[in-house]
Structure formats: C-alpha cells, structure tokens
Amino acid sequence: MLYLVGLGLSDETDITVKGLEIVKRASRVYLEAYTSILLVDQSVLESYYGRSISIADREMVESNSDEILRDADKEDVAFCVVGDPFGATTHTDLVLRARELGIRVGTVPNASIMSGIGAAGLQLYNFGQTVSMVFFLDNWRPASFYDRIKENRQIGLHTLVLLDIKVKEQSLENMARGRKIYEPPRYMTVGTCASQMLEVEEEKKEGVYGPDSLAIGAARVGGKTEKFVAGTLKELCDADELLGGPLHSLVLLGRRTHELEHDYVREFAVNKENWDRIWKADYEGKH
Amino acid sequence: MLYLVGLGLSDETDITVKGLEIVKRASRVYLEAYTSILLVDQSVLESYYGRSISIADREMVESNSDEILRDADKEDVAFCVVGDPFGATTHTDLVLRARELGIRVGTVPNASIMSGIGAAGLQLYNFGQTVSMVFFLDNWRPASFYDRIKENRQIGLHTLVLLDIKVKEQSLENMARGRKIYEPPRYMTVGTCASQMLEVEEEKKEGVYGPDSLAIGAARVGGKTEKFVAGTLKELCDADELLGGPLHSLVLLGRRTHELEHDYVREFAVNKENWDRIWKADYEGKH
C-alpha cells in the first residue's frame, strides 16, 4: 500500500501518532522536499522516526514515480509530505499512477498552511482562493496572482499568499552544461512578496490593493517560534527582521471582516494606531 | 499556559505526537464537543490518552470560559478541538479572554476538513470561501450560503459546504421548562444538504446551480472508512446509503477545473457516463 503521510508544519513531533506508526513499519520512507520544508533537518527526522529517509526531489516524483511505487502492491511505502498530503498537485499525480498499477492508497492528513493560517486570527470562512507568489526575474514576472486577488477582493475575502521556495535548483549555466550542481536554497520573505505585489499594482493600476492595504506576515506557522506581524503592505516590505527566518506566508485582508478579527490581529500590528485608523476607514463594516 | 490542541479528523491516533505529550502532562484536559466530533467515543480517547477529559459544551465555552482558564497562568490546560483549533470562531474568543487574563496561549495545529477535503481530488487552490448548511425548520431556512456559493461560482471556484451537527440540543418544550434533557445527536447527511440546496435554488431561481451541477459527497474524511461519492446534486440527494455514517461534507464544483481533477474524481462517480457527459459540456475548459 502507498501511504501519503502528512508531516504537519514545523518539526519532527508534528507527525500524527497514526502517521508515525506507518513510517516506522513501512518498507521504504520517502520525503517530498521541494514544495515545502519542515523547520528541522532530515537527520532529526531520521533519528526521531528511527528510519532512514530517501529524499524525493521534483525530478524523482515527476519522472520516476514508478521507483517510489515499486512493490507497493505487496508492501507498505510511506511518502511523507510537509503539511497535508493534498496541498500540491504533484501528489494527485502519484495517486493516479498508483491506481493505474492497482496499488491501494491511504492518506494520513495533517495540518496545512491553508488551515494553520487561522492562528493569525482571521476567520477561515472569510478566505477566498489561495494564490502563489514566485520570485520575479528580470524577464519573468508572472502576475496571475493579481487577477485572483482581485476576484477575492471584489467579494471582500482574505487571500492567503504562499511564497516561493527554491530548493535544489540549478543555475542556467550548470543546467546547460548538465552539471548536477545546485544553488543554495532560497525562501521568499514577506518583504519580497509585499514589494512584488506593490510593483505589480503599480504596473496594472487596477486598484486591487495598495501600499495602505492591510495584511499579515506570518513566519513559521505552527512552530514554537511562530510569529505574526500585521500592518500595511508598505509596512510589511520592511518587516522581515521582525518576522525572522523561513518559512513565510502573507495574508492580504479582504473587507468582509468580523470585529473579533480586528481585536485578535491588532495584537500583531507594527503600528497599532495606523492599524486602527485604516481598519476603521476601509474595513470595518464594509462587507 | 493554555494549549489549543487539534485532534484531527477521525480517531484517537490522529493527534500529533506533540499534542499527545501536552495532553498527557496538562493539569486539566477539555474536549470541545459541539462544533464537530471525532468518529470514536470519549472513553476511547480517555483510555488512549491516559487522562480523564471534561466535555466543554457550547454553554461552558461561551459563558464559563474562566473555568476553563482557571490557573492557566500557573499550570498547563489542554483545550482539545476536533480538526484544527482555528476552524471555529469560538476558539478565537477563548484566546482573546486568555490574553485579557495574561495567560499565554500555544496552538497545536492539525488536519482540518478545509484541507483534508483535498483527498477528494480537487485542487485546494480552486476552492473559494467555505459555507455552512444548517438543518432547515418550517419557519427558519437560512439561505446566506446561497449568495456565497454564487460568489464562488461566478469566478469558477469550488465550494466546501460544512454540514450542521446538533449535539446536546434541547427541544423547545424542555428549554421552556428549563429541563436539562437533551435530544439525541443529529448529523446532517449529504442527501439532506443537496436537497436543501436545490430547494433554495427553486425559490431564488438565480441559476447559481441546479439538479445537474456536479458535486462530491464526502464521508468520514481522513478515517479508515473515508468515502467519496461524486455525481450531480440530484444524484447526491439519494447517495446517503452509499456514503454511510457521519460526518458528511459536500463540495459543489466550480467551472475552473483541471484535467487531473476530472481523472481523479471520476473514480468516485455514481454514474461515470453521466459524469463525463456533464463535465465535458459544462466544466471542461470553462475557466
């Protein structure tokens, strides 16, 4: 049987008891390590689980899934995913391939950033579709997030923005020369995300949001050092130091807000007076 | 310290290792038991955790939260919540009250139906806001869900519909007479939800959805007997037997679909020919 095991958001103890039992008894254990990461190293997981773990990078999952599925009709294979197993499309692919091969599939759900973000104090009911933000390059600045945020904002909903991570990426030169040399990992910060968002608004000028729009920067959600910083997008451009290390996410507020949300999130505001003023003018009672 | 501990979706082994450690060492353990339930009894949890558990009903959480927070500045109190601790507004309230009292709060995230529903094969990115469906009464048929589904459908997004549960409810007569006698628990089924949805569409006639709209019924998500049934809303009116016992949820599909979603969900269709035909006509390539 193939088990997709969610590992949760933060460290080795976020696995569920059910998931841990499966990992301990499986013939092989894989860790999907390119759509998200835990805040601890592979070696910590290996010693805690008492198992050696094979890292499944994008290449392996997308082009060599039959190796992951080998003998999974006769024995148990654990495919571990940070967060919840169904956060990323890739795993749907793996399940479809398993079905073709007649392999049974079990899922062990866990916390996902899509629900964990509730800890920031916004009601999950008030979120629209989730979007992703990738690192802009000089000649590649994909802005599809903008139209989706626009859709959410038009009906007053919050938007969770998931931030790019670059793990095991090759430079163009190394790729061209076929050298398997990888760049150090990079994790997008809230500051980069906020400034890319403002850049796109400046280009498109549709007024979907602006420097004074309220947002929350989130760091290490679900972990011991979890940190939220609330402020305007402009304030969040400079909040990386307050937030600390990866992983970061950002929530852009919609206007359909609840009083409890104000009270809860205010605690995290960089500048509480600013927060109150803008909330009162642009958010309170606007749904 | 007050710990909000997510229990996940299904049974006693869905708690995380971190959560279990907190429950085992806390001075008092509460279980919030009115916004959702696990598929196992309290006694199973108690024997697995090795702790006795106080049930926190709505009355206690909303009117007597200081009892839950008693001494939490000096000792650890575990407040356990089915799913993820931030699924329901109530817990935000509890955290705000703790803050007022100077009590530190920690959260142990876990799987929520809002991410666990990904196991049905729809991409979580394609979901809009989540709505709730309550049991209709003769003179009380709240239909705010309809406008929210309309907003989601207009931009092509899927809608997760969370279904009412009635736990520890009094009959009007017993309430009037102040008798603390409670009705047996009731859990809304996908069949009831689908027919209430169609009823409201028949009244409002805005064409937000109809008997031929595609949807997925979900039962016991994350559990060993997890079951999905896909079909039209009309087909789902009669799918309760296929789905089996509680808890149920429903997803109404939006038109912004991905080919992988078709392939994945088709497996669950009551009538695959019907599914393919409607998908092709109304969903495929419509975003």
Q: Does A45 lie at the interface with B, CB-CB under 8 angstroms? A: no
Amino acid at A191: G
The Cα of B128 is separated from the nearest Cα of chain A by a number of Å equal to: 5
The model's confidence at residue A89, banded by pLDDT at 50, 70 and 90, is low
- pTM, 2 dp: 0.94
Q: What would the pLDDT profile of A104-156 be if each residue is shown by its tens digit?
A: 999 999 999 999 999 999 999 999 999 999 999 999 999 999 999 999 999 99
Q: What is the pLDDT of residue A172?
A: 83
Model confidence band, residue A92 (pLDDT cutoffs 50, 70, 90): confident
Distance (Å, whole) CA B92 – CA A262: 11
Q: pLDDT tens for residues A5-14?
A: 999 999 999 9
pLDDT tens string for chain B (287 positions)? 999 999 999 999 999 999 999 999 999 999 998 777 888 889 999 999 999 999 998 888 888 899 999 999 999 999 999 999 987 667 888 999 999 999 999 999 999 999 999 999 999 999 999 999 999 999 999 999 999 999 999 999 999 999 999 887 888 888 888 888 888 889 999 999 999 999 999 999 999 999 999 999 999 999 999 999 999 999 999 999 999 999 999 999 999 998 889 999 999 999 999 999 999 999 987 76
Task: Identify the DSSP state of A9.
Answer: S
- In this complex, the residue of A15, A115, A124 whose CB is nearest that of residue B16 is A15
**Chain A contact present for B258, CB below 8 A:** yes
As a whole number, the mean pLDDT across chain A is 93
Count of CB contacts below 8 A, A vs B?
171
Q: Smallest CA–CA separation between B174 and chain A, in Å?
A: 33
Using the predicted structure, report yes or no on whether residue A226 has a pLDDT greater than 70: yes
Chain B residues whose CB is inside 8 A of the A255 CB are none
Please report the pLDDT score of residue B221 as a whole number. Answer: 94
Taking only residues 228 to 247 of chain A, the set having a beta carbon closer than 8 angstroms to any beta carbon of chain B reads: none
A86 neighbourhood in chain B, CB within 8 Å: 115-116, 118-119, 124
Instruction: For residue A118, list chain B residues with Cβ-Cβ distance below 8 A.
Output: 84-87, 112
Rounded mean pLDDT of A150-173? 92
A119 contacts chain B (CB < 8 A)? yes
pLDDT attached to residue A178: 85
Residue A1: pLDDT band by 50, 70, 90 thresholds? very high
Q: Which of B20, B115, B157 shows the shortest C-beta gap to A17? A: B20
Mean pLDDT, residues A41-50? 93
Choose among B87, B96, B116: nearest Cβ to A109.
B116
Q: Which residue has the tokens 């290490």?
A: A220
Please report the pLDDT score of residue B109 as a whole number: 95
pLDDT of residue B181: 86
* Predicted pLDDT at B63: 86
CA A32 – CA A95 distance, rounded (Å): 14
- Which one-letter amino acid corresponds to residue A84? D
**pLDDT value at position A243?**
98
All residues of chain A having their beta carbon less than 8 Å from the beta carbon of residue B129 are: 125-128, 155, 157
Query: pLDDT value at position A287?
Result: 64
Q: From the list B11, B123, B226, which residue is nearest A89 (CB)?
A: B123
Q: How do strand A186-187 and strand A165-166 relate by DSSP bridges?
A: antiparallel
The closest of A226, A208, A204 to A217, measured between CA atoms, is: A226
In sequence order, the 6+-apart residues with CB closer than 8 A to the CB of A168 are A33, A34, A57, A58, A182, A185
Question: b/e string for B49-74 if b means 16 or more Cβ within 10 A?
Answer: bebebeebbeebbeeebeebbeebee
pLDDT > 70 fraction of chain A, expressed in percent and rounded? 99
Q: Which one of A13, A80, A115 makes the best mutation probe of the B interface by having the most chain B beta carbons within 10 Å?
A: A115
